[in-house]
A and B are shown apart, each in its own frame.
Chain A
Amino acid sequence: MNGPIEFRLNGRAVSIDAHPLRRLLDCVREELGSTGTKEGCGEGECGACTLLIDGCAVNSCIVPVGQAVGCEVTTIEGTGHEGVQESFLEEGGTQCGICTPGLILMTRAWLEACERKGEPATLEGARKALAGNLCRCTGYGKVLASALASRRGTS
């Protein structure tokens, strides 16, 4: 009763044969090869699998792919080097790397939200925006420094 599932992934139209309740995370990794999206807890707690749906950050481990139909999905592969990734490299905001794609996408969503609302991107704002992304290596100091350093790269 369910046809192919169609949406856009990083600007490209895609169509996959999957049950609509399959996790978006699995579809992106296994059907579409975007393995930059990582799985952490698998229950929406850690933020490792964060990706953007129409610019909005979600935990892809708890989004059924059927809800992405017709949407623009952005993974780490689609973010390019527009400043956020460089900042994480320069400021040392990454160590083992599992949480990094999620952190970079969340940082991007945060910066875009600040711009949309006309609010300044502050340290307090970064703390709140990134609160759902757990990192067991860095202690967050360098993650926050990276997020703040990203401000100059976007816009």
Chain B
Amino acid sequence: MSTRADYASVRTLEEALELLQSATERSALLAGGTDLMVEFETGRTRPDRVIDLHHLDELRGIGEEPAGLRIGALTTCTELLESPLVCAYADILVAAADEVGAEQIKNRATLGGNLGTASPAADLNPVLLALKARVRLASSAGRRELPVDRFLCGYRETARRSDELIESVVIPRPLDGERHGFRKVGTRRAQSIAKLVLAISLRVVEGEIRDVRAAAGSVAAKTVLLPSAALELEGKAPNPSGLRESWRRAVKRDVTPIGDVRSSAEYRREVLFRVGTSMLIQLTSN
């Protein structure tokens, strides 16, 4: 059925933006295809038109700029994990990209696709939230930039208008002493949809915890920040029992997971609590 959709492959950004002017809510932007090709084949997604961005080289490339590290939307997971620049700015993005799937998937799946699909189980999105990444959108009307938490609106929903595409993601330069943790929990190491994804960024300055950003996937309809984590943890000394109690309160307040075919709600909450506690203890110890 998908194979009857109107299809266009674009080679320049100009060409893409012009085509997007007449795109609708039902038009699909195709990047690596790891998610959409299955959607098309099963008929779960029936686009009126498919705009294939794969050959759009302007959306590739990784480079530093004053605002931070710019990563083109079509950058694949393999490219992320082989980039020394990504490793320097965002070590946990490398860790997350490595766990997205098997080699065959990592060679195709893209950063922009992970964002654009906006699956609550996306592996890279919690990392982008924890690292205060911003999404750059382009349309023929101009460009705009949104923080990832405003870009991700709901279950497979984003703030992208139908005439826009994701051009790149910008990750700000890490603060002095910034520490990052990442953990994915799934059924199979190589290739599984996450039961839980957790990413945390924080600093320990003069014996107290600062600048906490914790984000989790697979615990709500969308990838979420845990705002209570910052409220509970910042200003505190990093002792394990205090961390455990602060984190327990944050999880309780900020997250109400659902039970589904992959895990029960209780399991997700308990694992988020335990994984987060050990991550916090590890990140705050010397």
Could you tell me which A residues sit within 8 Å of B by CB distance? 1-2, 19-23, 42-45, 47, 50, 56-59, 61-64, 66-67, 69, 106, 109-110, 128-129, 131-133
Q: How far, in angstroms, from A109 to B104 measured CA to CA in the complex?
A: 10
Q: Given A45-B191, A50-B104, are A67 and B54 neighbors across the interface (CB < 8 Å)? A: yes
Chain B interface residues toward A at CB < 8 A: 2-9, 30, 33-34, 37-38, 40-41, 50, 52, 54-55, 78, 101-105, 107-108, 189-191
CB-CB < 8 A to B30: which residues of A?
64
Chain B contact residues: helix, strand, loop or mixed:
mixed
Q: Across the interface, do A44 and B7 meet the contact criterion of CB distance under 8 Å?
A: no
Q: Quick one: which of A19, A45, A47, A63 contacts B37, CB cutoff 8 A? A: A63
* Cβ-closest chain B residue relative to A68: B54
A and B contact pairs by CB, cutoff 8 A, 29 listed: A1-B6, A1-B7, A19-B4, A20-B7, A21-B2, A21-B5, A21-B40, A22-B3, A43-B38, A43-B41, A44-B105, A45-B191, A47-B102, A50-B104, A56-B78, A57-B104, A57-B107, A58-B107, A62-B34, A63-B108, A64-B33, A66-B54, A106-B103, A109-B103, A131-B102, A131-B103, A131-B190, A132-B103, A133-B102
Q: How far is the CB of B97 from chain A (nearest CB, A)?
A: 14
B47 CB, min distance to chain A CBs, angstroms: 10
Give A139 Cβ to nearest chain B Cβ, in Å.
16
Partner of A63, one of B3, B33, B101, B189: B33
Q: Are B190 and A64 in contact (CB under 8 A)?
A: no
